[in-house]
Chain A
Amino acid sequence: MINLALVVGKTAAPEATMFWILAPLAIIAALGMLLAKKAVHSAILMAWVMITLAIFYIAQGALFLGIVQVVVYTGAVMMLFLFILMLVGVDSADSLKETITGLRPIAILAFVGFGGLIVSLIGRATLGHDAVGLDAANANGNVPALAELLFSKYVWAFEVVSALLITAALGAMVLAHNHRVTAKPTQRDLSILRFRTGSLASAAGLPNPGVYALHNAVDVPALLPDGSAAPTSISAMLEARGDVIDSSPFQLGQAEEVEGEDK
Chain B
Amino acid sequence: MNSANYLYVAALLFTIGSIGVVVRRNAIVVFMCIELMLNAANLAFVTFARINGNLDGQVMAFFTMVVAACEVVVGLAIIVTIYRSRRSASVDDASLLKR
Contacts and interface: CB of A to CB of B under 8 A. Distances in A.
Given A56-B46, A77-B69, A81-B32, 17 more contacts: A27-B9, A30-B13, A42-B29, A49-B36, A57-B43, A57-B61, A65-B46, A68-B62, A103-B23, A107-B19, A108-B19, A114-B15, A118-B14, A131-B53, A132-B52, A149-B59, A172-B74
Interface residues of B, number: 70
Interface in B42-66: 42-43, 46-47, 49-56, 58-59, 61-63, 65-66
Contact of A131 (B50, B71, B73, B80): B50
A157 B39 CA distance: 20
B29 A39 contact: yes
Contacts of B81: 175-176
A39 B59 CA distance: 32
B67 interface: yes
A133 B50 contact: yes
A259 interface: no
B47 A136 contact: no
Interface in B1-45: 1, 3-9, 11-20, 22-26, 28-29, 31-33, 35-36, 39, 42-43
A9 B49 CA distance: 13
A227 B67 CA distance: 66
Interface stretch (A84-92, A191-199, A207-215, A217-225): A84-92
Contacts, number: 226
Nearest to A114: B15
A211 to B, nearest CB: 40
Contacts of A249: none
A19 B56 CA distance: 23
Interface string A160-190: 0100110111011001101000000000000
A178 B84 contact: yes
B96 interface: no
Contacts of A23: 5, 9
Interface in A35-57: 39, 42-43, 46, 49-50, 53, 56-57
Contacts of B90: 94-95
A145 interface: yes
A31 to B, nearest CB: 6
Given A60-B50, A131-B50, A172-B77, A119 B8 contact: yes
A26 interface: yes
A127 B76 CA distance: 40
A185 B43 CA distance: 53
Interface in A140-154: 142, 145-146, 149-150, 153-154
